[in-house]
Amino acid sequence: MSGYLLGLSTVLLWGLYNVLARFAGFEGANPVVFVCFGFIVASLVLLVVSGPGRMSMQAFRSPVTWLYGVLTLFEHIFTVYLFIYVTSAEGSLLQRFGVILVVIFAWLFFNRRPRAMTVAGTTLIAAGCIMLLGQLDPETMKNAMLFLLAAIFFQVTKTMVIEAHPEVNVFHGLKDRIRVTAIISFVSCMLIFIALACVAAYGHFLHVSVAPLPSAADFLRMDTLILGGAFGVLIEPASIFAYFYAVKHLKSERFMALAALVPLITYGLEVVAHWFTSMPVRTFSTLEWACVAVITLGSAVMQFKYRKRRRAIA
C-alpha cells in the first residue's frame, strides 16, 4: 500500500513540476535559467541529504554521467519551452510520443522486437497524440512541435545512454543513488551554467545580443530564481526520493502504469493553479478528452505485458 502511495506522490510531484514549469514559462522566465538554477539548488539539497560517501568519484569521472546529465538538462529545458506554447496537461500528453520513439529505437539499435501489447499501446498513444495535435492552434503547433521533438530527442537519447551503459544505474543503496543523482545534476548544471554565464557576460559587457541564449538580464531576474528555487527545494528532491522508493516497492512496470496518470493529474493541478494565478487553463473538448483517454489507455496497455508474463512465471 505504501508503495502505491509513494508512486502516487511521485506522479503528483511530476504533475506539480509540469504546472510550475508552465507557470515559469507563462511568467516570462527564461527556461534555461529556471532549469539551471533549479537543478543547482536541487543538487545542493540532495547532496546535503545524502551526505558524503562512496560512488561520487565513480559518477564524476564517468563521461557517460556527464553525457546523461547534460541530456537530462536539455530535456527539461525544451520541456519548459514546450509549456510556453501548450498547456502543461497537453505537453505532458504529447511527451508520450517519446515512448513510441523509444520502442522504435530499441528495435533498431538493441534488436528488441516489440511485443503485441507494446505495438497496441504505442498505436493507441500515436493515435491519441495525432488527434491532440490536430486540435492545437496551427500558429502555436509549429513551435510546439519543434520543442516537443527536441525534448523527445533528448529524452530518447538519455534512455538509450542508460540502456547502452547500464553501469550508470547499478548503484544499489538509496543514499548512493541519491548522491550520484546529485553529482550528475551538479556536474551538468555547472557545465551549462558556466558556458552560458560566460556568453551572457560577453553580451552584457560588449553590448551584443546573445539571443536566443539567455542574456545577463535573464540570468538576474529574481522571479525566475524564486521559481527555480521552489522547484529545486520543494519538488525535485522530493520527487527523486519518492521515485526511488516507489520503484523499489512497486517495481518499475507497476510504477510506469501509474505514471500514465501524470497528464490527468497535471490537468487537475492546472485547474487548481488557475484558481490562484492568472495562468490560463484550457477546457478540454469531448474529442480532447477522448485523446486523453486513448493516450492513458495506451500507456497502461504497454505495461500490461509485464504483469501477464510475471503471472505466467509465478
Partner 1 sequence: MSDNYFDKVREEFKDEIKNTRTKKDAGIRIEGQVSGVAHNSGTITNNYYKEPAAADVTRKFDDSAVKQGRKPIGMRQLGICVNPSYMTPKEYQNFSKGIWDGVERRKNCQDWQAWDWAEDHLQPKAPNNTAVEQPKSPGEYNEFQEHMLYYIAVFSCLIVILTWLIMAGNFQ
Q: Between residues 21 and 187, which has the closer beta carbon with respect to partner 1?
A: 187
Q: Is 204 in the site for partner 1 (CB under 8 A)?
A: no
Is residue 255 helix, strand or coil?
Answer: helix
CA angle 86, 92, 97 (to 5 degrees): 105
Residue 61: exposure state from Cβ atoms within 10 A (0-12, 13-18, ≥19): exposed
Whole-angstrom Cα distance, residue 241 to residue 200?
Answer: 34
Number of residues that bind partner 1 (CB under 8 A): 32
Does position 56 bind partner 1 by CB under 8 A? yes
CB closer to partner 1, 50 vs 299:
50
Reduced to 3 states, what is the DSSP secondary structure of residue 39? helix
Tell me which H or E stretch contains 138: helix 138-164
Which phi and psi (to 5°) does residue 194 adopt? -60, -45
> Dihedral of CA 269/274/277/278: which sign?
positive
Cα distances from 182 to residues 46, 139, 196, 269, in angstroms, run 6, 39, 21, 27
Stretch of 111-119, 178-186, 244-252, 305-313 lying at the interface with partner 1 (CB under 8 A): 178-186
Q: Would you count residue 231 as binding partner 1 (CB under 8 A)?
A: no
For position 130 contacting partner 1 by CB under 8 A, the verdict is no
CB of 162 to partner 1, least distance (A): 16
Q: Where are the beta strands (DSSP E) in the chain?
A: none
Residue 88 or 224: the one with the smaller Cβ distance to partner 1 is 224
Determine if 220 is a binding residue for partner 1 (CB under 8 A).
Answer: yes
Among 47, 80, 260, 292, the residue binding partner 1 under the rule CB under 8 A is 47
Instruction: Map residues 27-46 to x or -, x wherever contact with partner 1 holds by CB under 8 A.
Output: ----------x--xx-xx--
| Residue 309 lies near partner 1 (rule: CB under 8 A) | no
Question: Is residue 147 close enough to count as binding partner 1 by CB under 8 A?
Answer: no
* Pick from 265, 263, 314: nearest CA to 292: 263
221 makes contact with partner 1 (CB under 8 A): yes
Q: Of residues 53, 130, 198, 289, which one binds partner 1 by CB under 8 A? A: 53
> Which residue do the cell numbers 507563462 mark?
26
CB of 154 to partner 1, least distance (A): 23
Residues 6+ apart with CB under 8 A from 82: 91, 94, 95, 144, 147, 148, 151
Q: Is 52 in the site for partner 1 (CB under 8 A)?
A: yes
Considering only residues 13, 71, 89, 225, which one is a binding residue for partner 1 as defined by CB under 8 A? 225
Residue whose CB is less far from partner 1, 59 or 101: 59
Cβ atoms 237, 49 nearer than 8 A: yes
What does the binding site for partner 1 look like in residue numbers (CB under 8 A)?
37, 40-41, 43-44, 47-48, 51-58, 60, 167, 170-171, 176, 179, 182-183, 186, 190, 193, 217, 219-222, 225
